[in-house]
A and B are shown apart, each in its own frame.
Chain A
Amino acid sequence: MIVLVGTTKGLFTLRSGDGRERFEVTGPAFAGEEVYATCIDARSGATRLFAGSVSNHWGPVLRRSDDLGASWTEGERAALRFPEGADASVARIWQLAPGPVDEPDVIYAGVEPAALFRSDDGGRSFSLVHGLWDHPHRTQWQPGGGGLCLHTVLVHPEDPDRLLIAISAAGVYRSEDGGSSWQASNRGIVVGFVPEGEALEFGQCVHKVARDAGDPERLYLQHHGGIYRSDDGGGAWTPMTGIAGMDFGFPVVAHPTQPSTAYLLPLESDEYRCTPNGRCTVWRTTDAGASWEPLTTGLPQRDAHITVLRDGFTTDGQDPAGLYLGTRTGEVYASIDDGDSWRLLAEHLPPVMSVRAAAIVA
């Protein structure tokens, strides 16, 4: 098992055997650089790592490792760059997402300012997805607190031409034609931060979207002010109830194999943005959001004012699921029993911005 922990000061790597019992921490790689996006990709038959980082001085870099992080390379030419004429430059890499399972050289990248890029050569070079960049809404998109970022890319598992992306604070957009054209898909998501926010076509501050393991049309969404589910691939969204008074949060994670099962980590209000009542609680639904149960075993339940960001919570794809969450206070917690119990894997790291985990394929 390998867990990549991107922090504000570099990338840390946690490794364990198949039992996921003991993890060894190494790093940081790229010391001093902020690592908002990583990707562990084994579609080609061997584990390949990607890391998107940014230096406050020297700008963004996309690196790749074919030796589990022992060494990292970047291309002669920058892999991720806006073309001439776009009048934009990549400020930060927010998301690195594998393409279809049977197209291992296809990788998507979401960046700030909000744009989608696609690679067809295993991440060596990327092309701007013009269909989204040229969307007439784009000039009206407003940045969320983290910037105008494209932070979520979901490829439909049965139809690679069906793409879903999310932008803060523009909302969800979908393409049915491989990215040539895009439609805003935010129907039902209520915006509380503007007047008359119930019928906005776009402008939602969607924080994260995850796809159900059993039904590819079922999606879970954490909004700036509410949690939602779609049963039609994002055509319409309905509120999920059951976590009273906890509308705010950043991540949402779907169980990798169990249908109707997802996880949230609500935070107290959009002003405080820490775990409520000093208790770090993960919430799990096994009925697609109709009801939620708190998971606290092994998570700090006293004086724990913790923030977990949108990509700071992930699963390792195993069954039972390994779940990993990294905090802004530099802790990494893990569960290897679908969330029933948790333990501390690392502490005193820099603030955690992203976590990804997967079994190693040699």
Chain B
Amino acid sequence: MNVRVRVPTQLRDLVAGASVVEIDVGGPSDGAATVAAVLDGLAAQHPALERRVRDEQGRVRAHVNLFVGSDNVRDRDGPATPIGAGDVLSIIPAVSGG
């Protein structure tokens, strides 16, 4: 199954300018996976992008939000949030910083 991941503007240089990357998470094309599995796929296919989303212990960085559709995964099941074919996982920087 492929899942589309939307890449924020600030990180597109890491994926040759792409705004969306397709991540193969394995399994049947109409299957289901978790956000964690998508991020694992991202680590394999675009490691420089993935490590800006998760630290080396696999924790999503504090000021990075992940959305499945319009749902912030922190408000659902975190990395265990299910994601299906046709869903879009959006990486969005939190409104914070210095």
Query: Which of A57, A78, A88, A89 is close to B63, meaning CB atoms less than 8 Å apart?
Result: A57
Chain B residues whose C-beta falls within 8 Å of the C-beta of A58 in the assembled complex? 10-11, 52-53, 61, 64, 93
Residue of B nearest to A86 (CB): B57
Contact B94 A57 (CB under 8 A): yes
The answer for the CA separation of A77 and B48 in the assembled complex, in Å, is 7
Kindly list chain B residues whose C-beta atoms are within 8 Å of the C-beta of A82.
56-57
Which interface class (under 10, 10 to 19, 20 to 34, 35 or more) fits A?
A: 10 to 19
Q: Is the CB–CB distance between B98 and A57 below 8 Å? A: no
In the complex, what residue of chain A is closest to B56 when comparing beta carbons? Answer: A81
A57 touches B97 (CB 8 A): yes
Residue of A nearest to B92 (CB): A57
Select from chain B the residue with minimum beta-carbon distance to A89.
B55
Asked if A90 is at the interface of the complex by the 8 Å CB criterion, the answer is: yes
B76 on the A face (CB < 8 A): no
- Interface of A (DSSP majority class): loop
Asked whether, in the complex, the Cβ of B47 is within 8 Å of the Cβ of A56, the reply is no
Of A32, A76, A78, A87, most buried by chain B (CB within 10 Å of CB) is A78
Pick the residue among A56, A74, A86, A89 that contacts B98 (CB under 8 A).
Answer: A56
Q: Which residues of B contact A89 (CB under 8 A)?
A: 55-57, 59
Residue in A8, A57, A86, A90 whose Cβ sees the most chain B Cβ within 10 Å = A57
A88 engages B52 (CB within 8 Å): no
CB under 8 Å from chain B, chain A span 33-91: 55-59, 74, 76-78, 81-82, 84, 86-90
**Interface residues as binary, B68-98 with A (CB distance below 8 Å gives 1, 0 otherwise):** 0000000000000000000000000110111
By the criterion CB–CB under 8 Å, are B11 and A8 in contact? no
Most B CB contacts (10 A, CB to CB) among A32, A58, A59 go to: A58
CB-contact partner of A57 in B47, B55, B56, B64, under 8 A: B64
Complex interface: chain A residues within 8 A of B53 (CB): 58
Known: A57-B64, A58-B61, A76-B48. A8 touches B55 (CB 8 A): no
What mask results when residues 295 to 312 of chain A are scored 1 for a CB within 8 Å of chain B, else 0? 000000000000000000
Q: How far is the CA of A58 from the CA of B65 in the complex (A)?
A: 11
A8–B56 alpha-carbon span in the complex (Å): 23
Given the contacts A74-B48, A76-B47, A59 and B55 also touching, CB distance less than 8 Å: yes
A82 to B56 CA separation, bound complex (whole angstroms): 7
Q: B61 contacts which of A59, A76, A78, A84 (Cβ < 8 Å)? A: A59
Contact indicator B57/A8 (Cβ below 8 Å)? no
Q: Does B6 contact A (CB under 8 A)?
A: no
Contacts of B51 in A (CB 8 A): 59, 78
User: Is B56's CB under 8 angstroms from A56's CB?
Assistant: no
B:33-62 near A, CB below 8 Å? 47-48, 51-53, 55-57, 59, 61
**CB–CB B52/A8 < 8 A:** no
Contact partners of A57 in chain B: CB under 8 A: 10, 52, 61, 63-64, 93-94, 96-97
Q: Which residues of B contact A76 (CB under 8 A)?
A: 47-48
B97 and A56 form a contact (CB under 8 A) = yes
Name A91's closest neighbour in chain B (CB-CB).
Answer: B55
Contact check, A8 vs B98: say whether CB atoms are below 8 A apart: yes
Question: Given A76-B47, A77-B47 in contact, is the A56-B57 Cβ separation under 8 Å?
Answer: no
Cα distance, A118 to B82, chains bound together (Å): 40
Give the nearest-CB partner of B93 in chain A: A57
What's the least CB distance linking A171 to chain B, in Å? 27
Q: Does A56 lie within 8 Å of B63, measured CB to CB?
A: yes
Would you list 28 pairs from A and B whose C-beta atoms are within 8 A, ordered by A residue?
A8-B98, A32-B97, A55-B52, A56-B63, A57-B10, A57-B52, A57-B61, A57-B94, A57-B96, A57-B97, A58-B11, A58-B53, A58-B93, A59-B51, A59-B52, A59-B55, A74-B48, A76-B48, A78-B51, A82-B57, A84-B57, A86-B57, A87-B57, A88-B57, A89-B55, A89-B59, A90-B55, A90-B56
Using a CB–CB cutoff of 8 Å, the interface residues on chain B facing chain A are 10-11, 47-48, 51-53, 55-57, 59, 61, 63-64, 93-94, 96-98
